Homo-oligomer: A and B are copies of this chain.
Amino acid sequence: MIVISDGHETGDTSIADLLREIDPRAEGRTAYALIERLYPICRSITGNGVRRSLRLLREMIPLELREVMSDTPVFDWTVPDEWNIRDAYIMSEAGERVVDFRKSNLHVLNYSVPVNRIMSLAELRPHLFTIPEAPEWIPYRTSYYQKNWGFCLAQQQLDKLEEGEYHVYIDSTLHPGHLTYGEFRIQGQTDDEVLISCHSCHPSLCNDNLSGMVMAARLAGLLQGTSLRYSYRFVWVPGTIGSITWLALNEGILPRVKHGLVLSCLGDPGKFTYKRSRRGDAEIDRAIEHMLTHCGHEFNILDFAPYGYDERQYCSPGINLPVGCFMRTPNGCYPQYHTSADDLSLVTPSALGDSLIQLLRVIQVLEENRCYINLNPECEPQLGRRGLYQQIGGTKDAATKEMAMLWTLSMSDGKHDLLDIALRAHLPFEQISQATAALLKAELLEPLIKS
């Protein structure tokens, strides 16, 4: 049973304890239930939809809402005006709302300026967006930085529209206001930080948005209750402009960010995908690749590319943080991506629960990974008289434990951390970590103090 404190202090539980205690199914169900509540809200890169969403997440962890004024310069960009919308529709001459924002907030081109006109279908067409290849699905489209308005609809909806006059109505506002993002920090034993980032700007899309937002919140909640070496900073930011804003306002913090992850698309049942940081061989890259190798499922590793989610900004050449992106099926690689079909049927409680477990296993590696020094480097120490060596025969498990100890002793020369050892030994990190604990107890190892 996990007791989560209200404050930001870390507890006594280790990540290993946590992994033994939590129930992935229950976690998955809880995450899914929160996604159900977030789903109907019309989010964008600014506005009240984001605020409502972040406040809902506060049921899981006491994150703080930060407000940044429109027109604030952030590197090469400027915080845009705030967008809010109340209603929108296309009404036929018969008075029927043939396209209706109340049915799906995807129907409105996100960031549409207000409009209230009578137009012929021909005049209207340039403002209508569909996916001819998937005639039942509504596309998700935006126009943040070029003033425009429009409607997104299913191709089969468009096909039914008859020639004639339509009342086109968007009741939106685009005025100076704020950009809103969420932030939550857990103080660990050191000020070195792990950054977890997700985007929070997509309207009714489940996998590409809500799965990451909820996984980050639940991960933050679980870590609050544990004993941590690193401090953890979670940010829920609108894509691109949000991470740029956060980076511009927090340049002083960046040297302390030792590892980072962007979370997205973690609710579909596809295999795990890890996209490496721009550095390509950062500790987070090695940690996740090792974890996935031993997760028992198929997985994909992608090299960094300057496209995708906010890792684009965290890994820009002048920032270059060791931040990768953890996903199941990546952006653009599932047919429902950026359509109304990225809905509550695409994400599953069990996929969410399993994603959370794998994230915790990565955190475990980061937390436990260190360099140790073999204090008896000349020949093997006599493990037998310390009770660390099987006598006459032994089980397969005992043999693995011995191999883990022998590898740890062999490679603890100050040049290899535990993750190096696990990778070289082809053993799960936990085995090396447990062997290290036994060898520390036997005073055969000591942590390397870097001068």
Residues of A within 8 A of B (CB): 74-77, 109, 129, 141-143, 145-146, 148, 150, 240, 243-244, 247-248, 278, 305-307, 312-313, 315-319, 374, 376-382, 384-385, 391-393, 403, 406-407, 409-413, 425
Q: How far is the CA of A374 from the CA of B317 in the complex (A)?
A: 8
Q: How far is the CA of A385 from the CA of B244 in the complex (A)?
A: 16
Q: 6 A-B Cβ contacts within 8 A?
A: A143-B391, A145-B382, A240-B380, A312-B380, A313-B379, A319-B378
* Chain B, Cβ-Cβ closest to A314: B379
Minimum distance in angstroms from A95 CB to a CB of chain B: 30
Q: Is the CB of B77 within 8 A of A247?
A: no
Q: Is the CB of A77 within 8 A of B382?
A: yes
Q: Is the CB of A244 within 8 A of B317?
A: no
Q: How far is the CA of A148 from the CA of B306 in the complex (A)?
A: 65
Q: Chain A's interface: helix, strand, loop or mixed, by majority?
A: loop
**From B316, B376, B411, contact of A75 by CB (8 A):** B376
Q: Is the CB of A379 within 8 A of B319?
A: yes
Q: Is the CB of B403 within 8 A of A244?
A: no
Q: How far is the CA of A316 from the CA of B318 in the complex (A)?
A: 42
Further pairs besides A109-B392, A145-B384, A316-B380: 7, Cβ < 8 Å? A76-B382, A141-B392, A305-B403, A316-B409, A316-B410, A317-B377, A318-B377
What chain B residues lie within 8 Å of A380 (beta carbons)?
76, 240, 244, 306, 312-313, 316
What chain B residues lie within 8 Å of A109 (beta carbons)?
392
* Chain B, Cβ-Cβ closest to A318: B377
Residue of A278, A316, A413 with highest tally of chain B CB at under 10 A: A316
* Chain B, Cβ-Cβ closest to A319: B378
Q: How far is the CA of A392 from the CA of B139 in the complex (A)?
A: 11
**From B148, B244, B392, contact of A143 by CB (8 A):** B392
The 6 A-B residue pairs whose C-beta atoms are closest, nearest first, are A318-B377, A318-B378, A306-B410, A306-B406, A317-B413, A76-B381
Do A378 and B146 form a contact, CB below 8 Å, given A141-B392, A141-B393, A407-B306?
no
What chain B residues lie within 8 Å of A382 (beta carbons)?
76-77, 145
Minimum distance in angstroms from A113 CB to a CB of chain B: 14
What chain B residues lie within 8 Å of A247 (beta carbons)?
378-379
Q: How far is the CA of A129 from the CA of B146 in the complex (A)?
A: 80
Q: How far is the CA of A118 from the CA of B243 in the complex (A)?
A: 81
Q: How far is the CA of A318 from the CA of B375 in the complex (A)?
A: 10
Q: Is the CB of B307 within 8 A of A378?
A: no
Q: How far is the CA of A243 from the CA of B380 in the complex (A)?
A: 11
* Chain B, Cβ-Cβ closest to A408: B306
